[in-house]
C-alpha cells in the first residue's frame, strides 16, 4: 500500500486558513465573514483558499467536524465500550463541544449548519456501534435506532446547556441513560 505524502507547506497553509477563520469568527458572525476576509487575514490569495476549500461553508464544516472529532475522541477504544458508556462519553463530549462552539457561533445559519454536521457524525458513530453489537439487528432498524439515539442525546445536551441546574453533566446524563436504553417503564 502506497502512502500519500502531504506537503508540509500545504498543511501549514490549510492550518493558517483555519486559524484565520477561527479568529474572524470570534469577532464577526459567520454570515458577515467573506472569503476575502479570510484570505486577507491569512495573507494568501483566493486561488490558494479554493485549493483547500470549496467555499466558506466547506471551511466551516471542516472546522466543526475536526473539533467534534477531537471532542468525541472517536478512536478504536470506543468500539469496545458498552452502549451506555458510549452514550455517556458522547453526551459529555457534546456538552464540552457545545460550550466551546457557543463562544464562536452566533447566527442561526451557523447553528443549523453545525447541528447538521453533529447529527451526521453521531448517526455514523451509533450506526457503526450498533452494527458491531452482539445483538443481530437488521440494517433498517439500526438506521432508525441511530437517529433515535442521536436526536435524544443532542436534545439532552441542548437541554442541559440551557438549564440552570446545579447538576454536573455526568449527573445529568447518568440519570437519563436507563430511560434511553430501557424506556420509561424500566
Q: Report pLDDT for 184.
A: 81
Q: How confident is the model at residue 130 (pLDDT cuts 50, 70, 90)?
A: confident
Residues 147-170 have pLDDT tens digits of 999 999 999 998 998 888 889 999
Q: With contact defined as beta carbons under 8 Å apart, do 27 and 105 qualify?
A: no
- Give the span between the Cα atoms of 96 and 47, in whole angstroms: 35
- The CATH number that domain 8-53 falls under is 1.10.10.60
**Residue whose grid cell is 430511560:** 179
Q: Report pLDDT for 78.
A: 52
Residues 86-113 have pLDDT tens digits of 889 889 888 887 765 655 566 677 778 8
Q: How confident is the model at residue 79 (pLDDT cuts 50, 70, 90)?
A: low
Q: With contact defined as beta carbons under 8 Å apart, do 29 and 110 qualify?
A: yes
Q: With contact defined as beta carbons under 8 Å apart, do 117 and 61 qualify?
A: yes
Residue 74, phi then psi, degrees to nearest 5: -70, 85
Q: Report pLDDT for 173.
A: 94
- Give the span between the Cα atoms of 107 and 104, in whole angstroms: 10
What is the model's pTM?
0.71
Is 76 a residue whose pLDDT tops 50? no
Nearest to 67 by CA among 93, 41, 87: 93
* CB neighbour list of residue 8: distance below 8 Å, 6 or more residues apart: none
Three-class DSSP category at 168: coil
Whole-number average pLDDT of the chain: 84
- Give the span between the Cα atoms of 178 and 157, in whole angstroms: 16
Amino acid at each position: 500500500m502506497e502512502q500519500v505524502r502531504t506537503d508540509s507547506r500545504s498543511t501549514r497553509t490549510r492550518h493558517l486558513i483555519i486559524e484565520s477563520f477561527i479568529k474572524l469568527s470570534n469577532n464577526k458572525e459567520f454570515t458577515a465573514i467573506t472569503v476575502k476576509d479570510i484570505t486577507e487575514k491569512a495573507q494568501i490569495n483566493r486561488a490558494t483558499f479554493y485549493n483547500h476549500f470549496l467555499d466558506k461553508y466547506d471551511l466551516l464544516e471542516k472546522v466543526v467536524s475536526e473539533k467534534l472529532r477531537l471532542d468525541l475522541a472517536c478512536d478504536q477504544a470506543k468500539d469496545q465500550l458498552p452502549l451506555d458508556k458510549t452514550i455517556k462519553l458522547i453526551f459529555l463530549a457534546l456538552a464540552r463541544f457545545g460550550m466551546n462552539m457557543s463562544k464562536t457561533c452566533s447566527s442561526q445559519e451557523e447553528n443549523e449548519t453545525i447541528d447538521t454536521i453533529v447529527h451526521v457524525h453521531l448517526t455514523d458513530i451509533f450506526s457503526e456501534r450498533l452494527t458491531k453489537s452482539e445483538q443481530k439487528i437488521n440494517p433498517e432498524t439500526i438506521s432508525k435506532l441511530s437517529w433515535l439515539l442521536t436526536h435524544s442525546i443532542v436534545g439532552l445536551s441542548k437541554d442541559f446547556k440551557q438549564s440552570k441546574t446545579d447538576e454536573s453533566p455526568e449527573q445529568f446524563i447518568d440519570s437519563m441513560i436507563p430511560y434511553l436504553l430501557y424506556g420509561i417503564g424500566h
